[in-house]
Structure 1
């Protein structure tokens, strides 16, 4: 055989992994990464059981981190919208200056354009600054129906209004009709957005290593909803968590501790969801969290399930 055709074991190996190729109970010979390169397990880490291995393949696309293949980005699944009881404008507790987003194509994936509430009428019509698109006022037509997402102090709401007027005097503003059916998307101490973050965790608030892997499906500036293959502790227990955030030009790796605020177990053998509250974020980490949530605040539209 021509020695030029001989490949090294690493070059010949495939990055793709299967259940049979990931050992349980023994140290890994290589790191495991997700399809986008996110580190899931370091070399030498130990998967403690078949449940954790199943969780790994159910929620990620594990690959060997020492073999270079072309990554295939994972696509988020669609989530059905929430259906809450209709509410009134008064029930939303909106205030002057509250942030709202306006979407012209109702029910579509078109972007939300930000503006702010500047007044309320006795008939529950809303006065708002013109929504902006690329620094200019979004062209809206009188009689046009628009979808609104309103971010109040304790919750996020969605409803549809009709544009009743577009005014230029004494300043630029729009008048929106009394909202149609109002739905509360989620009640929170802070806005929580849909996410898909690989989170390495360690039991207890001290230690230098991470024993397992979980998936954050929702995140706020104060905490996250973390799904794992088993219950990581009781309410009040602490965990160490490590994950990576990317927001436009900001890339931040965060390692911190969190308190378990609630635990939701599914059927036997199903993953367990944990409501975590961060308790040791420094100023830079807090800013990174706020930027990440702000950049994805439109995903509040699709947040329907998670930790209350």
Structure 2
């Protein structure tokens, strides 16, 4: 997901040791660091600019939702997809592909006949579709992301607002291999695992990421193979700003295996993820795969 671009910055525009007055983004408008993050050292600023331009994003810029992948023809059976009751789904109006996606929860289904979901909403917006409107839904089963198309049958209010949808008209499955790496440029805060987060945490840049781990670049080679660390970062996923708080083990020192020579040291990290973190990171990886396709 991208934000609207505003102006290109120089290194002198980024305050050191003070909260950022605006979000930082790469040349494509993807978030590097959120507003309020602290860049503690001038070398960290240099690292952020090392792989290309850095942009300032204006507060209130809208997130541009990427169009959902075109569903492929397939027998649309929800049970075989592994999307269980309670699964969080992301919903998009087929008629308004540029609007941000909204979350809802699958609360039941009748195979081949209907789906029941909570009313899609976030803190800013509630989707209020009419019968016969077509919605695109995306859900993660734990092993694959499924995109499906359904029409609205009816809208209910008791005991809380919900939608009755048709059985999926079309469905697409996108398997996610754990070792599938995607190239990214995401600013992160890094510290030793177990230490409390502070403004003194060094800035790092994640260069590629998968469910197994990431290649991380920093201005300070403070970690050695075997060290445990915490990696915190923000990224837009399905139009929503997500906070990631991951932990892992340093698997390789600088230069990491396969990394090119650089003025900044790189090291590999092997993640230790919970089921919830796996689902969250999977959505980010799938979205970046869509962007790089």
Task: Give me the TM-score of the superposition, normalised by structure 1.
Answer: 0.49
Q: Is the 8 A contact 1:40 1:200 kept in 2?
A: no
| CA deviation string 1:232-251 (max 9, x = no partner) | 8999733534646699xxxx
Aligned to 1:12: none
SS in 2 for 1:140: coil
Aligned to 2:167: 177
- Return the alpha-carbon distance in structure 2 between the equivalents of residues 37 and 216 of structure 1: 19
SS in 1 for 2:165: strand
* Cα distance change of structure 1 residues 85 and 234 upon mapping to structure 2, 3 Å threshold: farther
**1:127 maps to 2:115:** yes
- Return the alpha-carbon distance in structure 1 between the equivalents of residues 222 and 73 of structure 2: 37
Unaligned runs of 5+ in 2: 1-8, 25-34, 179-183, 237-242
**1:166 maps to 2:166:** no
* Cα distance change of structure 1 residues 304 and 179 upon mapping to structure 2, 3 Å threshold: farther
Q: Which has the larger radius of gyration?
A: 1
Matches within 5 A, 1:35-54: 36=35, 38-42=37-41, 53=46
Unaligned runs of 5+ in 1: 1-14, 19-29, 63-70, 189-193, 280-285
* Greater relative contact order, per chain length (Cα 8 Å cut-off, separation 6+): 2
- Return the alpha-carbon distance in structure 2 between the equivalents of residues 155 and 58 of structure 1: 31
Structure 1 position 16, deviation (Å): 4.7
- Return the alpha-carbon distance in structure 2 between the equivalents of residues 261 and 276 of structure 1: 6
| CA deviation string 1:104-134 (max 9, x = no partner) | 245323331413140232x3x4421342447
Q: Is the 8 A contact 2:229 2:250 kept in 1?
A: no
SS in 2 for 1:116: strand
**1:303 maps to 2:291:** no
Structure 1 position 56, deviation (Å): 4.0
Q: Is the 8 A contact 1:244 1:253 kept in 2?
A: yes
Q: Is the 8 A contact 2:103 2:122 kept in 1?
A: no
Q: Is the 8 A contact 1:119 1:127 kept in 2?
A: yes
Aligned to 1:150: 139
* Cα distance change of structure 1 residues 244 and 305 upon mapping to structure 2, 3 Å threshold: same
Q: Is the 8 A contact 1:59 1:215 kept in 2?
A: no
Structure 1 position 215, deviation (Å): 2.1
Structure 1 position 180, deviation (Å): 1.3
* Cα distance change of structure 1 residues 300 and 185 upon mapping to structure 2, 3 Å threshold: farther
Aligned partner (choices 50, 54, 57) of residue 57 of structure 1: 50
SS in 2 for 1:304: helix
**1:111 maps to 2:104:** no
* Cα distance change of structure 1 residues 134 and 77 upon mapping to structure 2, 3 Å threshold: closer
Task: Give me the TM-score of the superposition, normalised by structure 2.
Answer: 0.51
SS in 2 for 1:182: strand
- Return the alpha-carbon distance in structure 2 between the equivalents of residues 261 and 199 of structure 1: 18
Structure 1 position 166, deviation (Å): 1.6
